[in-house]
């Protein structure tokens, strides 16, 4: 197989954590007297990091007040209703069996990413978990991908990035990686294609067939 290293986004790609994310944004915004956002609003706001999502939902002037409230509720409840996307565990296992390396590459906070991967039992299937706060960078900055590839011994020409958002697509482009889009998260297949994605799939099982080819 051509792709010896596969970087996976987390929210909307490997896992469904949207209920917890929505719950924590709602909790924090209500605590300061703002109306709770809809799930659609939350989905459209996430992907660029937590502070950016709060700013998009509540306004930049409220980030400093909302962030600690969000994190308080997150630490108490975030593992209550998280689940793997269909085909996630199987694809990670098949990649490993074929001799490819996998890693989590996300704008979710690194500590939260490692906690949820351990909770779901996929940590042994990935070679690294790279998240927000682990480096000075976030997707789509090319330095973030370069850091992950250096840590994992990968090269751009032999690396694929699997993600559900236009930010993942931009990260792949900026770093010279192949991009495999899955329409299971924040952006639809039509939106991904409109931004130039050429490989877009209904989910991980469909994407895996091409990744493993």
Instruction: Say what the pLDDT of residue 172 is.
Output: 98
- Of residues 49, 4, 48, 1, the one with CA closest to residue 177: 4
β-sheet with 101-109: strand ranges across: 129-132, 101-109, 5-8, 159-163, 178-182, 200-201
Read off the tokens for 109: 């906070």
Residue pLDDT, tens place only, 56-105 = 999 999 999 999 999 999 999 999 989 999 999 999 999 999 999 999 99
Instruction: Say what the pLDDT of residue 1 is.
Output: 64
118 contacts 79 by C-beta, under 8 angstroms: no
pTM of the shown model: 0.93
Instruction: Say what the pLDDT of residue 2 is.
Output: 76
Residue ranges of the chain with pLDDT lower than 50?
A: none
Beta strands in the chain (DSSP E): 5-8, 15-16, 83-84, 101-109, 129-132, 159-163, 178-182, 200-201
Domains annotated for the chain, with CATH where assigned, are 5-16+83-211 (3.40.50.1000), 18-77 (1.10.150)
Instruction: Say what the pLDDT of residue 213 is.
Output: 84
């Amino acid at each position: 197989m051509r792709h010896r290293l596969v970087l996976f986004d987390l929210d909307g790609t490997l896992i469904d954590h949207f209920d917890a994310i929505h719950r924590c944004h709602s909790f924090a915004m209500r605590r300061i007297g703002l109306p709770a956002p809809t799930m659609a609003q939350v989905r459209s706001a996430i992907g660029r990091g937590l502070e950016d999502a709060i700013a998009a939902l509540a306004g930049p002037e409220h980030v400093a007040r909302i962030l600690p409230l969000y994190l308080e509720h997150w630490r108490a409840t975030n593992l209550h209703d998280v689940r793997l996307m269909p085909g996630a565990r199987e694809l990670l296992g098949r990649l490993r069996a074929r001799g490819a390396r996998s890693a989590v590459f996300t704008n979710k906070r690194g500590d939260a990413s490692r906690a949820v991967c351990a909770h779901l039992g996929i940590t042994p299937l990935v070679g690294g978990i790279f998240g927000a706060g682990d480096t000075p960078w976030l997707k789509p900055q090319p330095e973030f991908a370069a850091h992950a590839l250096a840590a994992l011994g990968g090269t751009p020409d032999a690396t694929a990035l699997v993600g559900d958002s236009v930010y993942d697509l931009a990260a792949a482009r900026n770093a010279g990686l192949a991009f495999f889009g899955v329409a299971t998260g924040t952006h639809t297949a039509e939106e991904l294609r409109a931004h130039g994605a050429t490989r877009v799939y209904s989910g991980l099982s469909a994407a895996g067939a091409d990744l493993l080819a």
